[in-house]
Structures are given as structure tokens and as C-alpha cells.
Amino acid sequence: MTRKAAWCGLSFLFGTALFCVTGGSFIALAAAASSASVLAALLLKRYRLGIAAAGISLLCGLTAAKTYYMLHIDPALELSGRTVTVEGTVTDIKVLSGDRSMLTVDGKADGVSVKVLIYADGSCEPYEKVNVTAKLEALEDTPSFPSKSYRLPKGIYLSGNADEIEYSGECGNRLGRWLCGLRDYVSQCITAAMDKESAAFAQAILCGDRSELSDVTKTQFYRSGVGHLFAMSGTHLTVIAAFSNALLGLFIRRKRVRTVLLCVVVMMFTAFGGFSAPLVRAGIMSVLTFCSTLAGRRTDPLSSLGICAVIMCGIEPPIVLSASFVCSFAACFAIGSLAPPLTSLLKGRRFAFALIPMAETAVILTVSLPFSVYFFSEVSAAAPVSNLLIVPLCSGALMLCAAAMLFGGSILPAKLIFRLADLLIKAVLKLAEGFASLRFAAVGSRFAGAVIAAAAVMAAALYLAVRFGKARIFALGTAAAFVSLWAVSSIFAALDGRVRIHILSDGRTLCAVVSRGRECAVLDIGAKGSDTYNVQQDISRNGITRCRAAFVHGDLGASAYRTEIFPPAEQLITGGGYYSEPFDENASAELDGFTVTVTAEGYDITAAGGTVSLTKNKVYAPQGELGGDDLKACPEILLGADR
């Protein structure tokens, strides 16, 4: 069995994921894993040594996860429901409104090491020491936002509102504060030299700061298949390493010295990027590759990936629940193990410079599609082509931004270089918008079964292409899979004549996405455009390609449905008449398959199956009245029948 480090490392990863995902009994999982390993060794005697090593690694992964839960998560969760004082350091700050902030505090409470979310008033500096008294509660997933699933991989299990908070003014991590200051300085230089939209994108790819990106831009990039450019990862690190290597090569001829300096550059950029999971993965693998070069050993991406899995999952097992970690590992596994046999068939052919990247992207999609449809609300069908065009432009912009910062970021040569990067970024944004606007650009996760079937077809085509040495088999299989996927989703949407009403409520305000086929309308009763995140999730999940209108009681927040969702609302119909003719009580609008009528407290939706009345805190449907916790569960109401 070759590549033992790879298979042992990936077995360790699988064992960690098995425990973290299932949350089952450790003894039962360990017994099942041991039995499966013994059975496999008996059936495949030729590989029994490798199977034994992989089985032991799997058990080690299970043990590491169980130990982590016992030592860290379980003691922290025992604090849930209690009022405690947390002494620690502020590692992240997000300003909510006014002087209200959401702080991530890493410290101790009652002798237990914890990392908690604290909602507090006042302002503080990054990595400032604080003392917080708050009642802590365990994070939970809700229909509106999966808080637990999102925070748990980051080591955050509790949250609370600060009853008392004391800002000490002392710095708890000087290196962390210096890095924050450096990122802020780079962001300021970018903002001063570029247009607003380009600057927001440049800050995302160079500093990992996506706070200035509009939700529309994010959706366009995800829909066009290049959303990975926002997550600082191997792509960014490769570009920076290549740029640094070329620069060092001008002054240093000794390869060993350059390699050592490149290791330093990689570690510095990983820290500068905030130690995101994909960046840490890429950083570890890069350092392992450089060390192998120094030692005169042959490098193997899959073995490096296995070692990386042991390091990252051994330190923090819940990271296997992170979408960025899983997708990054899936992509690296595809490039390291599945893509080389296919790309070797394309070397030397005409247009190989374009065919090989497209083939690699398609192989990555083959592996990552099942994970993408699980973690995200839609998957892109345009990725093989969009990556070919957009990634080189983005890489060029990243190199130019790095070069500008070498000149200090604020002097004239730096500003000229930033302007060149601005031109490339504008092209990137236009291309992403163009790809996202295509009707077949993405498929909603509502069609998860069809997406997984398409991935299976692509996997079979990949096997046959390598088996018979004909790359066109994979090309035809991939094209057939995506055409069939889009056709199935389109036919299903065309035949589904029901009106789908998805309620989004926090108990005080209400938003509803009313859709039929691939078209929708948004109804806002008191939300004032504040729930566009969940509206976008519903639009993406159902494969909506046209938003006919947004109806808003009053005028406040209506513009959000034109600037913060994609596709944007074609009409803004408001009660105050600021964006349209006043849509007063008893006024009605005919849309595709349903009618929206204004009432004193909300809207009535009338379709073939009856009428649904919406108010801020009540919904009256043919099935009965909904309110309170029933509304907070974000129910979906269907009217009518299939066409």
C-alpha cells in the first residue's frame, strides 16, 4: 500500500468527522470501526498492513475527538444557563449598531477555558483584555440562522448579553493587535486608491475582510462558481508564494536560502489572513513541501494533505464541521489524487493551457458537489468556464496589490499599481455578474438528489476516461451531467404549479417569499429590509431566476430588495408611495399564478388553493392559524396543485 501517510491521515480525518457529525456513542463507533477494519483486512489480505494502519488511525481520530469534547466542549456547556464572569481577550469585534457590538472573548469562566460571543455596549480595541459578567446560553441552530453549526468549528459554544463589562485597556496579544493594525493599514491604502466596489473586493482577497462586500456581489460570485476567491486559501497563498519567489530570485541565488525565506513568507501570510481553515491547510502543506525540497525528498500532495489532516483535526476536531475546511480538503484531494491521471492525457494537446485548468475544475466539482449542496443553498454549473476566465484576473490583481504594498501603499507608484489592479477587479466583477445572470448558472439545493446524481455520473465518466485513456469521455460525461441537472430542475419548476409561501419571522416582524416556478415576490411586514439574508437563501435554494416585485408596508428598507438580493426586485411596491404609486389598503397586484392584496395589518395572497393572510405576528392559512413558535419555525405553505 503506497501513500501510507496519506491514507492514515485521511482515516484520522474520517474518524474525527464520524464522531463530530454523528455525536454517537464513542464505544459503539469504535467497535464498528474496529470490526470494519478487521473484516476488510480478512477480505483484502494483500493490503492488510495498510488497512491495519488506516484502522488504527481511524480509532485515533475517534479518540482525539472524544477527548476534545470531554476536555473542552462538555465543561463549557455546563456553564449554559448560569451567570458567570469571563476574564479574557477580545479576539474579534463586529459593530452591530451605534455603540452596540458583538465581541468574541477568549478566556476563562469559573476555571473553564471558553470562547464566547458577548453582546455589549461600548468600544474596545482588538485583543484588549476584558472582564464580562453575563448569563451564558448554549448556541442553537434556528431556521433563520444556523448559529451553532457556524460557530462550533470556530470553538465558540456559548453566547450572552453583557450585564457588566470592564475594558481594561491592556493588550492581551501584541502580535494579534499588530496584525490587525497591519490589515487595517492595507485596507486604508486600498480604499484610498480604488473605487468603492473594487476596494471591497481587494480587501476580501488580500486581507480576508468581507464586511464591505455587498450581499449581491457575494451571491453573484457563489452563483458563478468562484465564491472560493473570498475565502483566503491555497489560491491566494500560491499567488503570494509565486510572487515572493520571483522577487527573492532577483536578489538571492541560493535555492535553500530562498526556500527558507519562502517558508517564513507562507507563515506570515497565514497569520496575516487570520488563520482561516483553508489558509492554514495551504500553509501547512506548503511548508511540508518546502521542507521536503530542503531534505531532497520527493513531495506528494496527498501525503502532505494526510499529515495536514492529522495536525488540524488533532488540535481542534470540530473544524471538520466547517464548510470552508471540508470544501478546501475536498478540492485538494481532487487535485492531488484524481486530477493528475486525467490531466496527463491532455498534456501536449492543442489548447492544453485552457483544457487542463477546466479539467481540474471539473474534477474538483465531481468531489465537492455533494458537500456544496449540503453546506450551501445552491451549486454553480458555470464553474469550469468561469474559473478559467476569472481566477487568472483575480490572481493578477492580488499580485499587483501585493506589489503596491511593497512600495508602502500610499506613495504615487503604489497608487498607480493599485489603479491597474482596480481595472482587473472591475473585469472580474463584470464577468461574475455576467455568469451569475445566466439562467443555467446555478442549481438550488432544493434539487439535492439531482445534484448528487450528477456528481455520480461525473465520477463514472472520470473513471472511464482514465481507464480507456480518452479525456473526451469525462468532457462528455460532465457536459451531460450539467445539462441533465439543469433540464431536470427546469422541468420540475415548470411542472410545479403550486404557489410556495415561505414565512420568515422572528415573532415581531414578518417577511415572506412567495414563489411559483422560477419567479417570486417578496412581502415585507415590519422587517424594513432587515431579513435579506434569509430571503436570499430561499431564492437561491429554490433556483429563482426572477424577482417580480417586493411589497413593503411603508417605505423604510424597501431599497434593500434592489441592492441586497440577487436577482434584484424588478419593482418596489410600497404603502407610502416613495418608490411607486401608493399601494394602499385593498389595492391588489396580479402576479404569475397569485394575487397580492393589501390589508390593514399586512397582505392577503390568493391563489387557486385558497387565501393566506399575513400579519406581523399571525398567519391565517387554509390549514389553520399560525403564530408564536410556529411562525419562528419558518414554515412553508403550499397553495394550488401541479400543472
Residues 192 and 290 in one domain: yes
Residues 483 and 347 in one domain: yes
Interacting residues of 491 by C-beta distance below 8 A, sequence separation 6+? none
pLDDT at 329: 92
| Cell numbers describing residue 58 | 481511524
User: Does the pLDDT of residue 510 top 50, yes or no?
Assistant: yes
Rounded average pLDDT over 505-523: 91
Instruction: For 544-557, write each residue's pLDDT tens digit.
Output: 999 999 999 877 88
* Cβ–Cβ < 8 Å for 536, 625: no
Sheet holding 594-598, edge to edge: 588-591, 594-598, 603-607, 610-614, 618-621, 624-627
Strand pairing category for 624-627 and 594-598: unpaired
Rounded average pLDDT over 427-434: 94
* Cβ–Cβ < 8 Å for 320, 270: no
* CATH code, 142: 2.40.50
Instruction: Give percent of the chain with pLDDT exceeding 90.
Output: 49
Residues 376 and 474 in one domain: yes
Within a 10 A sphere around the Cβ of 99, how many other Cβ atoms? Answer: 10
**Length reported for the chain:** 643
Give, in degrees to the nearest 5, the angle at Cα 288 between 282 and 289: 85
Question: Residue 386 falls within a domain, yes or no?
Answer: no
User: Does the pLDDT of residue 254 top 80, yes or no?
Assistant: yes
Residues 203 and 185 in one domain: yes
Q: Which of residues 109, 144, 172 is at a domain's end? A: 172
- Full residue range of the structural domain in which residue 68 is found: 4-77
Residues 413 and 477 in one domain: no
Which CA distances in Å does 468 have to 339, 455, 462, 482, 506?
15, 20, 10, 22, 57
Question: Residue 590 falls within a domain, yes or no?
Answer: yes
Residues 191 and 207 in one domain: yes
Instruction: For 294-340, write each residue's pLDDT tens digit.
Output: 877 777 888 899 999 999 999 999 999 998 899 999 999 999 889 99
pTM as predicted:
0.88
**How many domains, in total, are found in the chain?**
5
Question: Residue 528 falls within a domain, yes or no?
Answer: yes
Enumerate the H helices of 273-378 as residue ranges.
277-295, 301-315, 323-333, 339-343, 352-375
Distance CA 468, CA 352 (A): 19
Instruction: For 449-499, write each residue's pLDDT tens digit.
Output: 999 999 999 999 999 999 999 999 999 999 999 899 888 888 888 888 889
| Helices and strands in the chain: count of H runs, count of E runs | 22, 20
pLDDT at 342: 93
pLDDT classification of 103: cutoffs 50, 70, 90 = very high
* Cβ–Cβ < 8 Å for 55, 4: no
Rounded average pLDDT over 77-97: 90
Residues 37 and 117 in one domain: no
Task: List the single range of 150-154, 453-457, 533-537 with lowest mean pLDDT.
Answer: 150-154
Residues 485 and 344 in one domain: yes
Q: Which of residues 149, 172, 195 is at a domain's end? A: 172
User: Does the pLDDT of residue 641 top 80, yes or no?
Assistant: no
pLDDT at 1: 46
Distance CA 583, CA 590 (A): 13
Question: Residue 612 falls within a domain, yes or no?
Answer: yes
Instruction: Give percent of the chain with pLDDT exceeding 70.
Output: 99
User: Does the pLDDT of residue 640 top 80, yes or no?
Assistant: no
Rounded average pLDDT over 205-234: 86
Residues 346 and 374 in one domain: yes
Within a 10 A sphere around the Cβ of 9, how many other Cβ atoms? Answer: 25
